A and B are shown apart, each in its own frame.
Chain A
Amino acid sequence: MTQKTTAPKARGIRQTMSDLHIWAGLLAGWLLYAMFLTGTTAYFRDEISQWMRPELPAQHQVPDAGATAQRVVDTLQQEAPSSPQWSFTLPDARNNVVSAFWRIPNIQGRRGFQSAIFDPASGEKLHARDTNGGDFFYRFHFNFYYIPVLWGRWLAGLCAMFMLVAIISGVITHKKIFIDFFTFRWGKGQRSWLDAHNMLSVFGLPFHLMITYSGLVTLMLLYMPWGGDAAFKTPAQRQAALAQMSAFRQPARPTGESAPLASIADIVREGQQHWGPDGVGQVIIANPGDAAARVTLVQNRAERVSISPHTMVFDGVTGKLDSVRDSASAAAETRGVLYGLHLGNFADVVTRWLYFLVSLAGTAMVGTGLVLWTVKRRAKLPDPQRPHFGFRLVERLNITAIGGLSIAMTVFLWANRLLPVDAAHRAAGEIDIFFIAWGASLLHAVLRPAKRAWVEQLWCAAALLALTPVLNALTTSRPLWKSIAQGDWVFAGLELTLLALAAAHAWLAIRTMRHKPKPARKPARRAQPGAEGHAQEQVTA
């Protein structure tokens, strides 16, 4: 960062900020790239999940919320009668299943939860292949995998802080931020990389800043608990504050006196009258079957930007409305809006695509930044044929982080189609295969010459992406042409997007392949030696 701190003369702010930008960006860059790309796909998480459960027919109409809720509750009464709390989300325009989870009695913490996916039509456990679907990418982008969830979240938070610092220092570094946005020098090696990096960054700057900061906000209770610890002296005070942020709370103590549950269908219908037909998003039932039963309806997040909880609480035995919360305090609403902006649940189709594209630009911003690090240094290597260890490390990790991740994510989709439908631990198997593919790409990147490794991995990703619709046509009864003909835009949209991504990867592969490194070693008088070795040219737009 500041190797020259001992230099006699202090360096200008632009220089120090440039160093800070470069090193903060590099050190967190590989994980940030993965967080950005998997997070980007999360804007279509429900659609990916639908694609990964091809047994479930395309949903043309959202099933009646009240009847669905009642069916699920009837099943839960068989499945988990002794549970102190059930909770489930209702299907909506983007989601065709019911995700439920419930507490297991007498176990505290995360392990005390069980979850299942139900078919809204029957209310039974879903008869579809076992898969995490799009949720895997979503969860990976802040939890990672194979490590404890808390470690993953702290690691993600650290990376997000690095990103925030990289954005701020990047802006300070950049004196001509507006002019540079309209500058693009094609085919000029390092210059082009820098221009691409600038354009992608400046174009989405408000988004990148928002998404990074709001990402930290989503987990701020974990990262910054100190204010709450100091302010709240009693658990009741803490509960009151949490109620401003989340609809979820500890169930009250049961009375031990059993009482049948009120009609959930009627309760949900009352919620629909209050919030509109698509308004009920989640149902939480505390102490079912007990005289102290309580039913909480949570408003669907698609209905508004802020995710601060809007809830209706009902007596679970009489079914009478007890209380309505339709507002939150100013700070809670601020947090709710930031959180909601991050998730983008409110977005309609057009906004969702904008989210996806700008987020993809953010991914490419991180990617071009990583590549720029090597491009800039290659010119200055004492012997470009034999770079030092640090350079080789960055180069290989770049290939794995960028090319390898595209391969691994696509392989994940392939695993979904190719693993036997009734295989044991199938969902975990898909994820293991994702990491095996990613590991193989690392091995490949280490063993092959760098330029070859780039080209081969980009081609491999392009081929896998392009063949996914073919694989889908061979393994399901919902081939692309049929999806288009029937207007099934979840399947068709996803597969057409994969084809577009395949084209982008092929284009990158061709540009990389055709790129001829100019002879290095002779530092030209001009500012740009233009000696950037192999592998890199313009990046995705």
Chain B
Amino acid sequence: MNSILTTARHVGPLVSRIVAAVLGGYALAALASVAAVALPLGKPDAVMTGMLASFLVYALAVVWVFAARSAWRAWVGLAVAAIPLLAAAAAVWTGAAA
């Protein structure tokens, strides 16, 4: 039992980071691609700019997740980055940016 707990304590943060990198990173990239639609460009151009930039956002998010000092900080960093993107994306979804 004890050993399971020890293992979990060792593996937990790593699994957490992997999830943050693969899924969290994708979510952030997807959010960025929607937020980009709010850019003052023509709709098709804004959409394409968002798609083009999203992979760089994803890659940098992954780098951040593993560079952060702890798994918690990694998640917090993603969340902080998501706030402005979420604001812009919300404007797109509600049609305010149209």
Contacts and interface: CB of A to CB of B under 8 A. Distances in A.
Interface in B46-76: 46-52, 54-56, 58-60, 62-63, 66-67, 69-71
B66 A1 contact: yes
Contacts of A237: 43
Interface stretch (A58-66, A177-185, A219-227): A219-227
Looking at chain B's contact residues, the main secondary structure is: helix
Nearest to A243: B44
A335 B55 CA distance: 13
A32 B44 CA distance: 32
A331 B37 contact: no
A456 B18 CA distance: 38
A227 B50 contact: yes
Contacts of B63: 17, 20, 165, 168-169, 172
B41 A331 contact: yes
A240 interface: yes
Given A1-B18, A20-B63, A164-B55, A244 B69 contact: no
Nearest to B36: A227
B78 interface: no
Contacts, number: 122
Contacts of B89: 230
A360 B17 CA distance: 33
Nearest to B47: A227
Looking at chain A's contact residues, the main secondary structure is: helix
B52 A227 contact: no
A331 B48 contact: yes
Contacts of B36: 227
Nearest to A160: B55
B51 A227 contact: yes
Contact of B93 (A3, A230, A244): A230
Contact of B33 (A19, A224, A329, A330): A224
A335 B52 contact: yes
Contacts of B45: 329-332
Contacts of A150: none
Contacts of B18: 1
Given A168-B59, A231-B47, A224 B29 contact: yes
Interface in B16-38: 17-18, 29-30, 33-34, 36-37
Interface string A300-335: 000000000000000000000000000001111011
B46 A1 contact: no
A329 B42 contact: yes
Given A227-B34, A334-B48, 20 more contacts: A2-B13, A3-B14, A5-B17, A5-B71, A10-B69, A10-B70, A17-B66, A165-B63, A213-B56, A217-B52, A220-B54, A223-B55, A224-B30, A226-B30, A227-B50, A231-B46, A244-B44, A331-B44, A334-B52, A335-B48
Interface of B: 9-10, 13-14, 17-18, 29-30, 33-34, 36-37, 41-52, 54-56, 58-60, 62-63, 66-67, 69-71, 89, 92-93
